[in-house]
Each structure stands twice: as structure tokens, then as C-alpha cells.
């Protein structure tokens, strides 16, 4: 019996192969989430974990912000990681000097380009902003850095102006141009069109940096990649300003399943998610894709029965692929078959009639809206005073 998989749809749709790299910005944009501050040693550990996954570029921070930030960026540069280390820089030569002093491989030179930002934030004309940006790009290149030029609020910038600016940045020898969807205004269709048009006028790689204000950051990032963007920006757990950024874990799983990109170690995704959750103090939603507690949790009797026989019935990919574990939940929707599996693992060998009786007790006991623990289930078994064979410890 054939399995009509998503790959068949992708083949029919003519999904293109992708030439991409990941730039993770957890240590910079992720830390700009209100209330999040990573200690220096925490930044080092996150950087190591990102490197182990195979992330090609790590944006280590914004070193001009403070002495401790500069020291943290320098320490990450000294770890000897395989990933290239990048730092953020305003369109100021003094910012570039601080980044150079840290020993970074790459600098991300940014300036706001939308009329809204020019008027109310920078209080500059577009010509003045462009001059500052290009002079800084040129200065950074003269000092041997890989340079990414990023137009902040690019997706609300006059498109003809933006294209001319990216072309100028290429003429000034920028290595990348970056489209920052700063307020998450795009949708996949508009992002695909925008990147396709920019790709017609520049020969250097394009980056996409998506925010999640409309819940479309991941979809927009994938659309940008399909249109030809090379560098895709992420944060672990999608943390970042306001509603956050494209989640690293969700992007990497999509790249594996939909596009066959398998060079990243997905088995470390759950552990780095838990690490960043602990360090940031930002809890991961239970129903979050890939790394949420419920991503591989099953309670419904019909679902559990099927999963116990063949996990693929209700799991698109195995929990082991992302370093997670399957959980069978004891609750209102748990059936006799699931209880047989759970109680057997606990050491009990119960008859079918007793399992049905136990299932009824579980349904009643779970009405207080939370799953039942194994200890509570054991007490229910003992309270029923049923005869059973116990093979547990």
C-alpha cells in the first residue's frame, strides 16, 4: 500500500532545491525580547550548542552596547567554533571598530530605510541615511570583514528606492544584502515576489530576517528561501522583540522534511530549546511545534491505540529525530488499550475487564482538568482491589 506523502505534493508543485545557510540571532535579537538578559557564560553555552547543530553563522551580539556585551562577543569569537561569528553594527565606523576589536568574522551594518523610520527615528533624509550606510560598508570591507548590509524596515520602504540601495551596497562590495521584515508585515506571496525581484538586480546573496507579528515569520522565511534567499535568520524558540522571530527548530525541521536539507543535527533541538527556555525565562508553549511538551503527547484513546501500533499514524516524524520523547497521557480521553500499555510499563498485568473498569475511574478522576500521574494511577489500581500480576520493582 503506497503512502501518499507530502513529498509527492512537493514534486507536483515543482518545489525548487534550496541553497541556504542559517544565521541564528538568538544572542542578539533574541536577547532584545523584553526581560531577557543572558549571562556571559550562558551566551557561550548557547553558541556552543548552535555550533553543534551545524548553524553556519552565529550573531553573537551588539558589542557597542556595553563593555560586558563586547566581552561576551569577544569570548564567543575565541571559542574556535566552526560557525562564523557576526556582530551587529549601526552605520557608524566607530561601531565597526568595536566589532573588529572583538575579532568577529562578519559585521551586519544596518540602517532604517522606510520613510516612517527616517522621519520619526533617524530624523534624516533618505540620501543622508544611504550615505552613512555605504560609507560604513566600505569601511568594514577595507578592514577585512565579511559585510552584510541590512535595510531595517525594508518591507515598508519604497521598493524602487530599496532596490537601488541594494545595488549600491553591492557596488560598495557588501557580501550580502538583507531584507528585514521588522514589523512582520509580509505574507508568503509578497515575500516571494520581493525576493524574486531583488534577486534580478543583485548578484550577491540575499538574507531574510522575519518577525512574527502576524504569525507568518516561518512561512515568510520559507517563501523567501524558495524565491532565492540564501541566508535565513532564526532564534531558538522564536524569541525576540514583540512576537519574536522565525524559530530555529521549526525552520530546520521544515527544511529536512520539505526540502531534504539534512546537514543539521536535529537531535539537539529539544535540548537547546530547553536550555534557552531556562536561560531566558521565557516558557515554551506546551503546544509549540517540534519542542513543546505536547508535540509528541497522546491522550485520545483512538489516537493512542493507533500510535502504539504504528507511531506514524499520528506523528509526522519521530520524537527521536529532534531529541524529544513520546508521551502517553493518562486523562479523560484515555482508553483501555492505552491503559494496558501504561500499566504494563508500570509492572501491572491487568485483565481486559479490569482495564475497562480502571478506564472509567480515570475518566471520573480526571474531571479536575489535569492529567493523572502514574502514582495516582497506581492508587486507583490498588483502590479497585482487583486481582493482578505485579511484575514491577
Q: Are residues 71 and 199 in the same domain?
A: yes
CATH number for position 60: 3.20.20.70
User: How many residues are present in the chain?
Assistant: 393
CA–CA separation, 71 and 66 (whole Å): 9
Q: Are residues 262 and 305 in the same domain?
A: no
Q: Is 234 among the domain residues? A: yes
Q: Is 23 among the domain residues? A: yes
Listed residues 236, 252, 280: the one ending a domain: 280
Work out the burial of residue 120: count CB atoms within 10 Å of its CB; fewer than 13 is exposed, 13-18 middle, 19 or more buried: exposed
Structural domain of residue 138, as residue ranges? Answer: 7-280
pLDDT at 6: 61
Q: Which residues pair with 389 in a beta bridge?
A: 349
Q: Are residues 263 and 350 in the same domain?
A: no
pLDDT at 2: 39
Q: Are residues 202 and 348 in the same domain?
A: no
SS3 35: coil
Q: pLDDT in tens for each of the 393 residues of the chain?
A: 334 566 676 777 777 789 999 999 999 999 999 999 999 999 999 999 999 999 999 999 999 999 999 999 999 999 999 999 999 999 999 999 999 999 999 999 999 999 999 999 999 999 999 999 999 999 999 999 999 999 999 999 999 999 999 999 999 999 999 999 999 999 999 999 999 999 999 999 999 999 999 999 999 999 999 999 999 999 999 999 999 999 999 999 999 999 999 999 999 999 999 999 999 999 999 999 999 999 998 877 677 778 878 889 889 999 999 999 998 777 777 777 778 878 887 888 888 888 888 888 887 776 656 677 778 888 888 887 655 555 665
Listed residues 253, 280, 307: the one ending a domain: 280
pLDDT at 310: 87
CA–CA separation, 229 and 201 (whole Å): 13
For residue 204, give the DSSP letter: S
**Among 205, 220, 228, which residue's Cα sits nearest to residue 150?**
205
Q: Is 110 left (phi over 0), alpha (psi -120 to 50) or beta?
A: beta
Q: Is 285 among the domain residues? A: no
Q: Is 172 among the domain residues? A: yes
The H or E element spanning position 276 is helix 269-280
Work out the burial of residue 233: count CB atoms within 10 Å of its CB; fewer than 13 is exposed, 13-18 middle, 19 or more buried: buried
Q: Is 240 among the domain residues? A: yes
CA–CA separation, 259 and 291 (whole Å): 20
Q: Is 312 among the domain residues? A: yes
CA–CA separation, 366 and 127 (whole Å): 65
For residue 374, give the DSSP letter: H
Q: Which three cell numbers stand for residue 122?
A: 533617524
Q: Are residues 127 and 237 in the same domain?
A: yes
Q: Is 177 left (phi over 0), alpha (psi -120 to 50) or beta?
A: beta
Q: Are residues 331 and 245 in the same domain?
A: no
Q: Are residues 201 and 307 in the same domain?
A: no
Strand pairing report for 348-349 and 389-390: antiparallel
**Among 275, 277, 253, 276, which residue's Cα sits nearest to residue 264?**
253
SS3 380: helix
Q: Are residues 320 and 241 in the same domain?
A: no
Q: Are residues 191 and 320 in the same domain?
A: no
Torsion on CA atoms 122, 128, 130, 133, rounded to nearest 10: -70
For residue 371, give the DSSP letter: P
CA atoms within 13 A on the CB side of 21: 12
Q: Are 387 and 357 in contact (CB under 8 A)?
A: no
Q: Are 58 and 76 in contact (CB under 8 A)?
A: yes
Q: Is 291 among the domain residues? A: no
Q: Which three cell numbers stand for residue 134?
A: 555605504
Q: Are 85 and 58 in contact (CB under 8 A)?
A: yes
Q: How many CB atoms lie within 10 A of CB 204?
A: 16
CA–CA separation, 151 and 173 (whole Å): 16
Q: Are 106 and 89 in contact (CB under 8 A)?
A: no
Count of domains forming the chain: 2
Q: Are residues 96 and 216 in the same domain?
A: yes
Q: Are residues 214 and 335 in the same domain?
A: no
Q: Are residues 72 and 118 in the same domain?
A: yes
**Among 20, 108, 112, which residue's Cα sits nearest to residue 61?**
108
Q: Is 361 among the domain residues? A: yes
Listed residues 280, 311, 326: the one ending a domain: 280
Q: Are 352 and 344 in contact (CB under 8 A)?
A: no
Amino acid at each position: 500500500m503506497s503512502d501518499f506523502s507530502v513529498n509527492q505534493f512537493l514534486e507536483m508543485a515543482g518545489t525548487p532545491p534550496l541553497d541556504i545557510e542559517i544565521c541564528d540571532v538568538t544572542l542578539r535579537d533574541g536577547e532584545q525580547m523584553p526581560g531577557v538578559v543572558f549571562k556571559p557564560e550562558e551566551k557561550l553555552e548557547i553558541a556552543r550548542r548552535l555550533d553543534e547543530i551545524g548553524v553556519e553563522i552565529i550573531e553573537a551580539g551588539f558589542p557597542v552596547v556595553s563593555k560586558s556585551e563586547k566581552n561576551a562577543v569577544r569570548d564567543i569569537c575565541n571559542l574556535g567554533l566552526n560557525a562564523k561569528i557576526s556582530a551587529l553594527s549601526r552605520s557608524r565606523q566607530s561601531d565597526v571598530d568595536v566589532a573588529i576589536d572583538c575579532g568577529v568574522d562578519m559585521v551586519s551594518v544596518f540602517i532604517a530605510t522606510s520613510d516612517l523610520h527616517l522621519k520619526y527615528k533617524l530624523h534624516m533624509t533618505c540620501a543622508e541615511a544611504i550615505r552613512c550606510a555605504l560609507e560604513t560598508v566600505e569601511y568594514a570591507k577595507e578592514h577585512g570583514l565579511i559585510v552584510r548590509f541590512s535595510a531595517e524596515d525594508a518591507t515598508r520602504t519604497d521598493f524602487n528606492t530599496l532596490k537601488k540601495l541594494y545595488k549600491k551596497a553591492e557596488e560598495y562590495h557588501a557580501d550580502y544584502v538583507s531584507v528585514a521584515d521588522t514589523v512582520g508585515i509580509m505574507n508568503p506571496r509578497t515575500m516571494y515576489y520581493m525576493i524574486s525581484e531583488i534577486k534580478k538586480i543583485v548578484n550577491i546573496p540575499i538574507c531574510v530576517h522575519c518577525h512574527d507579528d502576524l504569525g507568518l515569520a516561518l512561512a515568510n522565511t520559507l517563501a523567501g528561501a524558495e524565491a532565492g534567499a540564501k541566508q535565513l535568520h532564526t532564534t531558538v524558540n522564536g524569541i525576540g522583540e514583540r512576537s519574536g522571530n522565525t524559530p530555529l527548530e521549526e525552520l530546520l525541521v521544515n527544511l529536512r522534511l520539505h526540502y531534504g536539507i539534512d546537514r543539521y543535527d536535529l537531535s539537539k533541538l529539544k535540548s537547546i530549546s530547553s536550555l534557552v527556555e531556562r536561560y531566558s525565562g521565557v516558557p515554551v508553549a506546551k503546544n509549540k511545534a517540534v519542542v513543546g511538551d505536547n508535540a509528541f503527547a497522546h491522550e485520545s484513546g483512538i489516537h493512542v491505540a493507533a500510535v502504539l501500533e504504528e507511531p506514524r499514524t499520528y506523528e509526522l516524524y519521530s520524537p527521536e529525530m529532534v531529541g524529544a520523547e513520546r508521551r502517553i497521557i493518562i486523562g479523560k480521553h484515555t482508553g483501555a488499550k492505552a491503559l494496558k500499555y501504561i500499566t504494563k510499563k508500570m509492572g501491572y498485568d491487568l485483565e481486559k475487564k479490569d482495564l475497562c473498569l480502571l478506564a472509567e475511574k480515570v475518566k471520573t478522576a480526571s474531571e479536575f482538568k489535569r492529567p493523572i500521574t502514574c502514582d495516582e494511577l497506581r492508587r486507583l489500581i490498588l483502590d479497585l482491589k482487583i486481582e493482578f500480576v505485579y511484575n514491577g520493582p
